[in-house]
Chain A
Amino acid sequence: MISALDIIVTGLRRRYRSIRTSRALAAFFANPLNVAGLAIVATLSIAAVLGPAVAPFDPASQDLANRLQPPTLAHPMGTDQLGRDVFSRLLYGARLSVGIAVAVTAIRLVLGTAIGLLAGYAGGWIDEFLMRLVDIQLAFPGLVLALVVAGILGPSLRNVMLALAVVGWASYARLVRGSVLSTKEREFVEAARLMGVSRVRIAVRHLLPNVVGPVIVLATMNLGTVILGTAGLSFIGLGAQPPTPEWGTMLSAGRHHLRGAWWIANAPGAAIMLTVFGFNLLGDGLRDVLDPNHDTTLEKPT
């Protein structure tokens, strides 16, 4: 038991050292854009966790006397057509958006990575079959298929999640399969084969670590895409239904008050954009750090 713990500890220490010595962390924090991305995502996560606790108003409580109020100290983002506090609704919406994004991305990632690993490692007809499945999924423009699936299942947030999950896994499968195939051809994998290292160990020790980096980058970017997709479907009316404080639904409701009460539509609009922006910044930064090709250029300036 103790020796197992020992192995884990030394393993972690080694991992930590590899991060430190690769200068990856320093490189990441050297770029202010990366830091900005991290800050936005951190703020959003805090809002998602603490939002309901710190929100000044109940997101559903109507106050018809104070409807369509422009931003004031009491209502920093004004009130909507039913007198609800827009800021509080945004905070509640953050939890929804982040929750859905994480859940959908997790499903996509697990499904896609498993399929990609299998296809790349097994090869042959299994690969052929799985890749045709990927092609079929990619043949449908993502949002169009999600829209149809969600529409047929019936408008609800849960169905939007399902619909988005089934349309996004293919890119993971492709990415993972590609990295597995290219890593398989590298000399250190050939060397391992010649040293009699087992197939399972080659997969775990040599192939998987080289796949993880790009997958993390894709997943980070994907969190933003899923938030956009959820908001889009809700905006069309297929996702969250009023009075749920979902950002897309809120934006859609605000469209009738564009001229008079611009804040109703623009506050959730800006929130969506900022959130997606944060994930994209973070993903860009992670790509620079986790992309192995980039790592080699870091190494020697010739």
Chain B
Amino acid sequence: MISYDYLASRLATSLAVTFGVSVVTYGLIFLTPGDPAEIILSQQLNRQPSAAEIEAFRAEHGLNDPVPVQYLHWLTDVFRGDLGSSYYSDTSVSTLIVEAVPLTLELALAAMLVALAISVPAGVVSAVHRGSPIDYASQLGALLGVSMPNFWLAYLLILLFPLKLGVLPVAGAGSFGHLVLPAITLGTGMAAVVTRLIRSSMLEVLDEAYVDTARAKGLRERIVVYKHALRNALVPVVTILGLQLGTLLNGAVVVEIIFQRPGLGSLLVDAVFERNYPVVQGVTLVTAIVFVATNLLVDLTYRYLDPRVQLGGETA
């Protein structure tokens, strides 16, 4: 039973946030030191542009209008699905993004799988054997994983597999083999975070009285842990996984560059260096909106994971 008012207010805030996101995204262009038109043109032409050329560029991209008008133009275009086109080619930004998304999505999902495959058993075992050598090892490993810069981990992996052992490709995209190292790089970092989360969540749950109730029934410890405790411990973890999407995207930027995967991250970094503003704005906007939408979704599914949560809650 989801409260309509909660739903309405949650949707309203998500819309407000999305609007704010669009303002910030559009506003980014004004951070440019100096005249954007001049800078962009000089980069495009590889020489100092003439005043006439700058004027023409301004007219073409509507840069002479007052800022709010420019923003509204941009926003109406965005609503029509038109994110503008790249300064350097006539390809539309949406096409560029649509081409890049599958590679990033593939990487993110693979990394998520790696992360869950490591973190769920590690976190549970660590919590169940609290204070044992296994626990210390897993805690230490997790902490090292959190502290590991993923660009360095990527180099270590490249050093080991393609260079020393001669397996797996160094860079590129397209085959399953190309996915392995990037997914491990990105996944282990996330695994470290999630392991810590599951461990502390499990520890809390294992102290709960209902776990003793389950034991007192005569249930096997395995069922007590994996049915009664884990189910409860996963509730907070799932919400955090939604937030972890951001971390994943952060990491994807670096990993895509190192492994030369033409995904969203590479697209963004290249665009930033070229000051290709329509692409920068497009990618930023899309990632932020995806992020907002994911968290809205996670929030709304929370109800089904934890029956106690009456979304919006009663104030009794």
Contact = CB atoms under 8 A, between A and B. Distances in A.
A280 B146 contact: yes
B117 interface: no
Interface residues of A, number: 47
B268 A144 contact: yes
A149 interface: yes
Contacts of B31: 149, 152-153
Interface residues of B, number: 45
A235 interface: yes
A148 B147 contact: no
Contacts of A51: none
A1 B94 CA distance: 69
Contacts of A259: 159, 163
Given A148-B268, A149-B28, A232-B254, A140 B155 contact: no
Interface stretch (A81-89, A115-123, A210-218, A270-278): A270-278
Contacts of A15: none
Contact of B20 (A132, A141, A248, A251): A132
Nearest to B265: A144
Interface string B247-263: 10110011001000000
B21 A140 contact: yes
Interface in A193-230: 224, 228
Contact of A276 (B17, B24, B147, B257): B147
B249 A273 contact: no
Contacts of B144: 273, 277
Interface in B288-302: 288, 291-292
Given A139-B17, A152-B275, A269 B152 contact: yes
B89 interface: no
Q: Do most interface residues of chain A lie in helix, strand or loop, or is the interface mixed?
A: helix
Contacts of B140: 33
Given A235-B254, A281-B143, A147 B269 contact: yes
A147 B288 contact: no
A274 B149 CA distance: 10
Nearest to A269: B152
Interface in A244-297: 248, 251-252, 255, 258-259, 262, 265-266, 269-270, 272-274, 276-277, 280-281, 284
Interface in B268-300: 268-269, 272-273, 275, 280, 284, 287-288, 291-292
A144 B143 contact: no
A135 interface: yes
B20 to A, nearest CB: 4
Q: Do most interface residues of chain B lie in helix, strand or loop, or is the interface mixed?
A: helix
A269 B158 CA distance: 14
Contacts of B254: 143, 232, 235-236
B98 interface: no
A209 B149 CA distance: 34
Given A140-B21, A144-B287, A232-B254, A273 B246 contact: no
Interface of A: 33, 132-133, 135-136, 138-145, 147-149, 151-154, 224, 228, 231-232, 235-238, 248, 251-252, 255, 258-259, 262, 265-266, 269-270, 272-274, 276-277, 280-281, 284
25 contacts: A33-B140, A135-B17, A135-B20, A136-B24, A139-B20, A140-B284, A141-B247, A142-B250, A143-B250, A147-B268, A148-B272, A152-B31, A152-B280, A224-B147, A228-B149, A232-B254, A235-B151, A236-B257, A236-B269, A237-B273, A255-B155, A273-B152, A276-B148, A276-B149, A284-B143
Q: Kindly list the 3 A-B residue pairs having the minimum CB-CB distance in the complex, ordered from nearest.
A: A151-B272, A269-B152, A143-B250
